[in-house]
Homo-oligomer: A and B are copies of this chain.
């Protein structure tokens, strides 16, 4: 298997972008990534595109071939992968796999979602397709409802306090405030979080991510090719993917997602490093509580310790283990199919020393992208090249 690098990254701003359609968002991010890489677009041999509900929210399937052609990449294999909100992470994985295995030398990876020009109820219904319709969602359960149950379970099992969970929102909003591509750029306070309106009790508005338009992209290639075109490449040390119960009723423990545990185990094994070696992480905080569960499932923090770590500043940009310095999905925004590639954009900047909220001396970064309430997860470990 060959060494694989990310030669360049690109991202649109995340937010309400009424002037850009789903195709334009994706191509904007791809063009930026290609320019950043220094690799001529003619060298791209395949496109993997993460997108969740383009067929529903943008009336657009067959999106990967459209984007390929719009970039002048006529004819190349262009494939959309879908694993709900992990679509972006799993798209990156397929770029990585096909390059490390010698199938392709240069692959463009992108993620995109266009969500803000649709009524919120329709967006919620579309996102609910990430649950198990036959077993559960037809009851009317939504994702805020599902994660509200996860929050209850974490509070009950580990004594995690409402304020500790709110500290995740405060931290991520603080981080987003400094990120020029973030949707929310205003700090918040514990008081504001815990007094915001209920979405699904005990989960409140400030525990949730916004509805977001956005796209991100990465040029994935052999380390050798990357080094010929840029001195800012970032190595992909490992890639892990796992699946898990899609219905909550299939989970043995609402405070842990087996898909994440499995993907992390695979990735750490491949990279031959331990969770303690990670300098900075971007994890799937689709709700505040999801960040706590992710950091624990990834082994970055002991079980039940996520709340304390957020409250004590351990996961702040200048803490022992910075988590979501980009602002995460909660403040940076959550264009669902793009979010996993957006994490890669932010981590690449961190490892290149160019991030808005730069973590001093960051050499090893971890990205965790999750779909549904633990349906699927992708974990990537990146390193300064």
Contact = CB atoms under 8 A, between A and B. Distances in A.
A69 B243 contact: yes
Main secondary structure of the interface of A (DSSP, over half): mixed
A75 B126 contact: no
| Number of identical monomers bound together in the oligomeric complex | 2
A251 to B, nearest CB: 11
Interface of A: 1, 21, 23, 52-56, 58-62, 64-66, 68-69, 74-84, 90, 94, 97-98, 101-103, 125-126, 128-134, 137-138, 241-246, 250, 258-259, 262, 371-372, 375-376
A55 B137 CA distance: 13
Given A65-B83, A79-B83, A103-B101, A133 B245 contact: no
Contacts of A64: 83, 243, 376
Contacts of A130: 61-62
Contacts of A372: 61-62, 65
A129 B62 contact: yes
Of the listed residues A23, A59, A245, the one surrounded by the most CB atoms of chain B closer than 10 A to its CB is A59
26 contacts: A53-B61, A59-B128, A59-B133, A59-B137, A60-B132, A60-B133, A62-B82, A62-B246, A64-B83, A64-B376, A65-B83, A65-B372, A69-B243, A69-B245, A69-B246, A74-B245, A75-B244, A78-B243, A78-B376, A79-B81, A79-B90, A80-B83, A81-B81, A81-B82, A82-B82, A97-B98
Given A52-B55, A78-B83, 15 more contacts: A23-B134, A60-B132, A60-B134, A64-B243, A65-B83, A65-B376, A66-B246, A75-B244, A77-B243, A79-B83, A79-B241, A80-B83, A81-B82, A82-B82, A94-B94
